[in-house]
Amino acid sequence: MAGNKITQQVFEQVTKRNSGEVEFLQAVKEVLDSLGPVLDKNPKYVDAKILERIVEPERQIMFRVPWQDDKGEIHVNRGFRFEFNSALGPYKGGLRFHPTANASILKFLGFEQVFKNALTTLPMGGGKGGCDFDPKGKSDNEVMRFCQSFMTELCKHIGPNTDVPAGDIGVGGREIGFMFGQYKRIRNEFTGVLTGKALNWGGSLIRTEATGYGAVYFADEMLKTRNENFKGKICTVSGSGNVAQYTVEKLNQLGAKAVSLSDSAGSIHDPDGIDAEKLAFVLELKNVRRGRIKEYADKFGVEYRAGKKPWDIKCDCAFPSATQNEIDGNDAKTLLDNGCYVISEGANMPSTPEAVEQFIAKKILYGPGKAANAGGVATSGLEMSQNSLRLSWTREEVDEKLHNIMIAIHQQCFDAAKEYGQPGNLVAGANIAGFVKVADAMLDQGLV
């Protein structure tokens, strides 16, 4: 049977089994849609039912997270961990704390993570987890009590050779610290069970910067294919959290001008560019005071666009760095009409299928999240290596390794797209290159 027919059949089965899980189905469809030619060329994957296996998490854990607020009131949240695929190494992937976190969203993220981690070439399987807890507006003590309760259950399922979570939306250095403390207390083990740790107790230099830096390095590789670079390029960035902050920093270093940031309430447009001094204000605003991006507009006298995303601002390059499906079909059309021709996804699946379709049709330089934002997990992999070796590499060493990994990821996607007859289509390239690595390892390991 033709590869495309098989992928269609598998998708029908996945839809039936996971009905209503919109984001998960979106992520699975995108990958399956790329794999027809791979199956045609490699019937061994069909015979071994690799597709049917790869769309099913190896294990999923759902648990109650009770905690008490500062007034003594009790709250109950729902925690998850999707241990998706361990063919290439221990499960690895972030934890998301956001009121919208649910099985569909965390499962889509776990699925994407499998292929992303394969592209890094580091020995990491894929997983993802989180909770529908909202850290916004909570005191440090409340966040600590919640993290302790969350880890009290999660610690039964993870470990440095089993499953190594990291941060994601709503989980930064503070949350990783609280969770690490609780893991250590329960297990009596100081071990590399989480990444994104602080530098003085096992963290890696550049991990904080890695996703944003990596998304810019990836875009730089795409630009090089057209003999271009970042000098003088106008760039829009969404979000104002970890990924957005270090995307702006690297853009500044490479001579581009980042002109926007956003949060869930609105966006700012700063045509003069978010320079180092203004970025320092953002870091303090977001990471210490935990305020809203509107304060940037008030402080620097620029336009605040309540309730608006940055995609109608004219730019050469766009860096979606907030959340899934933040660029819809209309936003994509606006970006393209305004001349944007480089999109590098810091966020996971930030473009809807209607948006992706337009980017591919217009043959712009489009770096999908599972490739463009892999720098974060790659540097988490480097943190794991340093923890195992019990030594720390310098900032320059880690940055160089990260840069080389991003160059290699781009090359793999570029080559796979070409090999399978879709030159320049890095969506197909990323899906195919990631899939083949995982599928081959699954074949080697027998029916698991």
Residue of 221, 263, 331, 399 interacting with ligand NDP (CB under 6 A): 263
Q: At what angle do helices 276-283 and 242-253 cross, to 10 degrees?
A: 170
* Residue 396 parent element (H or E): helix 395-419
* Residue 299 parent element (H or E): helix 294-300
Please report whether residue 241 would count as binding ligand NDP according to CB under 6 A.
Answer: yes
Sheet holding 303-306, edge to edge: 260-263, 266-269, 303-306
**DSSP-assigned letter for residue 310:** G
Please report whether residue 347 would count as binding ligand NDP according to CB under 6 A.
Answer: yes
Please state, in angstroms and rounded to a whole number, the distance separating the CA atoms of residues 182 and 145: 10
Part of the chain binding ligand NDP (CB under 6 A), chosen from 55-63, 156-164, 260-268, 358-366: 260-268
Please report whether residue 120 would count as binding ligand NDP according to CB under 6 A.
Answer: no
Q: Is 278 a catalytic residue?
A: no
- Is the CB of 90 or the CB of 130 nearer to ligand NDP? 130
Q: What's the per-residue H, E or C state across 335-400? A: HHHCCCCEEECCCCCCECHHHHHHHHHCCCEEECHHHHCCHHHHHHHHHHHHHHHCCCCCHHHHHH
Part of the chain binding ligand NDP (CB under 6 A), chosen from 33-41, 61-69, 197-205, 257-265: 257-265
Cβ of residue 190: shortest distance to ligand NDP, in angstroms? 23
Question: One of 116, 128, 309, 401 is an active-site residue; which one?
Answer: 128
- Is the CB of 113 or the CB of 387 nearer to ligand NDP? 113
Part of the chain binding ligand NDP (CB under 6 A), chosen from 72-80, 235-243, 328-336, 411-419: 235-243
Residue of 110, 125, 376, 434 interacting with ligand NDP (CB under 6 A): 376
Please report whether residue 168 would count as binding ligand NDP according to CB under 6 A.
Answer: yes
Residues contacting ligand NDP: total by CB under 6 A:
22
- Is the CB of 222 or the CB of 293 nearer to ligand NDP? 293
Measured from the Cβ of residue 330, the count of other Cβ atoms closer than 10 Å reads 13
Measured from the Cβ of residue 390, the count of other Cβ atoms closer than 10 Å reads 8
Please report whether residue 429 would count as binding ligand NDP according to CB under 6 A.
Answer: no
Do 384 and 195 meet the contact criterion of CB atoms below 8 Å apart?
yes
Please state, in angstroms and rounded to a whole number, the distance separating the CA atoms of residues 291 and 285: 5
Task: Say which residues have a Cβ less than 8 Å from residue 16's Cβ, sequence separation at least 6.
Answer: none
Please report whether residue 242 would count as binding ligand NDP according to CB under 6 A.
Answer: yes
Helix (H/G/I), strand (E/B), else coil: 221: helix
Please report whether residue 239 would count as binding ligand NDP according to CB under 6 A.
Answer: yes
Per-residue interface string for the shown chain with ligand NDP, residues 52-91, x marking contact by CB under 6 A: ----------------------------------------
- Is the CB of 68 or the CB of 100 nearer to ligand NDP? 100
Where do we find the tokens 């390892």?
441
Residue of 139, 161, 264, 445 interacting with ligand NDP (CB under 6 A): 264
Q: Which residue is nearest to ligand NDP (CB)?
A: 241
Residue of 89, 170, 310, 434 interacting with ligand NDP (CB under 6 A): 170
Where do we find the tokens 């998706």?
84
Cβ of residue 322: shortest distance to ligand NDP, in angstroms? 3
Please report whether residue 322 would count as binding ligand NDP according to CB under 6 A.
Answer: yes
Where do we find the tokens 């320059």?
396
Please state, in angstroms and rounded to a whole number, the distance separating the CA atoms of residues 219 and 230: 9
Task: Say which residues have a Cβ less than 8 Å from residue 448's Cβ, sequence separation at least 6.
Answer: 442
Please report whether residue 268 would count as binding ligand NDP according to CB under 6 A.
Answer: no
Where do we find the tokens 């926007």?
260
Residue of 87, 106, 169, 279 interacting with ligand NDP (CB under 6 A): 169
- Is the CB of 11 or the CB of 97 nearer to ligand NDP? 97
Helix (H/G/I), strand (E/B), else coil: 32: helix
Do 193 and 183 meet the contact criterion of CB atoms below 8 Å apart?
yes
Please report whether residue 260 would count as binding ligand NDP according to CB under 6 A.
Answer: no
Copy the structure tokens of residue 208.
Answer: 């904080």
- Is the CB of 2 or the CB of 199 nearer to ligand NDP? 199
Please report whether residue 204 would count as binding ligand NDP according to CB under 6 A.
Answer: no
Measured from the Cβ of residue 177, the count of other Cβ atoms closer than 10 Å reads 18
Please state, in angstroms and rounded to a whole number, the distance separating the CA atoms of residues 144 and 46: 47
Residue of 120, 236, 247, 323 interacting with ligand NDP (CB under 6 A): 323
Q: Which residues are catalytic?
A: 128
What does the binding site for ligand NDP look like in residue numbers (CB under 6 A)?
Answer: 167-170, 172, 211, 239-243, 263-265, 321-323, 346-348, 373, 376
